[in-house]
Structure 1
Amino acid sequence: MTAILNESADDLAGTEKVYAFFREQLLSRTLTVGDRLLGERELCLRLGVSRPVLREALRSLAMLGFLDIRHGKGAYVRKADIGVLSDFFTFCLAQQPDMMDDIMQARVAIECQAIRLACVRATDGDVSRIGSLLHRLMETLHDVDDGGEADFAFHMAIVEASRSPALVTLYQSISELLKRSHVQRRLETSGTPGIIDYLVEAHRDVFLSILARDPDAADQKLRDHFAIGDELRRKSFIAAFSRKAAPQEKD
């Protein structure tokens, strides 16, 4: 039993060596997308791991979308699949209480910085795309699912216009949860008086602030949008609770 445990521990340590080596090679830019890794024999000698351990570690990296293993040719660095990261965050965060509220806070942090950068970095094409998505959002105001999807696309375009790979990656990694949040918030506030006018005005003001290339104004408009949205959601909860309580009071 001790021998088995020691072997397992050695395998785990060997796997960590492979991961650490691969990570360092990427961070130092020694390896980039499309590059071929050293051969198995060279890697085993360099890292001091066995071939079975190396192969298993490389297979794991391939499953995560970081490597492309071509039989008879070797392993090549591939561009990471953001979908894998999105699944990871979804599985992790889905287990937490108050997940949607927490996701909203992350959204505020990412988008408010992104819109400031977008005011400075956005190309004419970026601005045109945001405008087109604003038009799509207006066309889906009365549809919870399509409207929520259009709302997400509008805000995603703002983050992409920041031209910040880090912010875009972080936002995409929680995209499935964000889409669910958009639809859920639309559903919760669909019966709130003035919600349609609010959606039109709030998103139009955010877009116009980007057109004006004013980071401070854009940041504030976006924060106002989030704050008013939260207030409308709170009111919808109170109204729904009041409707449920009314029949009981009559009885």
Structure 2
Amino acid sequence: MAVTDEAITKIKDMIISGELSAGERLPPEKELSEKLGLSRSSLREAVKALEIIRVLDVRRGDGTYVTSLEPQLLNEAMTFIVDLHQDKSILEIFEVRRILEPAAAAIAASRIGPEQIAALHATLESVDTDTSVEALVEHDLIFHSLITAAADNAYMASVLDALSSSTVRARIWRGLTQEKAVDRTLAEHTAIIEALERGDAELVKALVTVHISGVEHWLRQAL
């Protein structure tokens, strides 16, 4: 189990056991990390993940609280968990992306223009290793959309944009729980742009295949 996943599980167990109640404030970060036997960075990432799925409420300057845990508040969280851990169709979506996106990128290598290359560089420069996971995923969506658009096939672009948007929450969860996911994504995007600039269709195809397969492999392990 990844360290962040372990941290999430430990906090969840504290809530389920009643050690932490609805509306209760979590102990200070240092105290809680020592209690759970976790590093403060792992605890911080776990809190961030649980905030996204509405289990925790981080109040700047005040502290971190368990939410009310009312059904309507957690409806969004339950949908998130079901999507990732019960609905195996997400894996099928990644399989289709792994087949179609490298093909689209290979076509784009022979059709992409200077303005489109510049747009790819611009979106890459808008993020760095300190960027939030949500902002990184937004960049990832734009990045893949730009490449698909460069293939100049409206039907393929429509299909791939729909598939890509269906995997957003899985990509956010990966960014939160997989070590060095941000660094890896940026490095892979850089290599893809360089291959597109050279017009190397086969290399682009291989790089995009590896890029998408990385998320798919993580998801298979998570499920």
Please classify the TM superposition score into its range, dividing by the shorter chain length.
0.5 to 0.7
Aligned match of 1:221 in 207, 210, 213? 207
**Contact kept in structure 2, 1:152 and 1:178, CA below 8 Å:** no
Deviation at 1:230, TM superposition (A): 4.1
With structure 2 as the length reference, what TM-score do the two structures score? 0.55
What is the Cα deviation at residue 195 of structure 1?
Answer: 3.1
Check conservation: 2:109, 2:196, Cα contact below 8 A.
yes
**Match of residue 106 from structure 1:** 96
Choose from 141, 146, 164 the match for 1:157: 146
Q: Which has the larger radius of gyration?
A: 1
Contact 2:98 2:209 in 1 (8 A): yes
Contact 1:133 1:150 in 2 (8 A): yes
Q: Report the equivalent of 1:212.
A: 198
Q: Percent identity over the alignment? A: 18
Letter in 1 for 2:115: G
Deviation at 1:184, TM superposition (A): 3.0
Q: Where in structure 2 are the equivalents of 1:40-55 lying within 5 Å? A: none
Contact kept, 8 Å, 2:105 with 2:148, in 1: the verdict is: yes
SS in structure 2 opposite 1:227? helix
**Root mean square deviation, CA, Å:** 2.6
Indicate which of 159, 163, 171 corresponds to 1:182: 171
Structure number with higher relative contact order (C-alpha < 8 Å, ≥ 6 residues apart): 2
- Retained in 1: the 8 A contact 2:123–2:142? yes
- Structure 2 unaligned runs (5+)? 1-82
**Does residue 1:199 correspond to 2:185, yes or no?**
yes
Alignment length (residue pairs): 139
Q: Secondary structure at the match of 2:87?
A: coil
Q: CA 1:198/1:153 → structure 2, altered by over 3 Å: closer, same or farther?
A: same
- Partner Cα distance (2:128, 2:102) in 1: 25
| Preserved CA contact (<8 Å) 2:109 2:197 | yes
Q: Distance in 2 between matches of 1:206 and 1:98?
A: 29
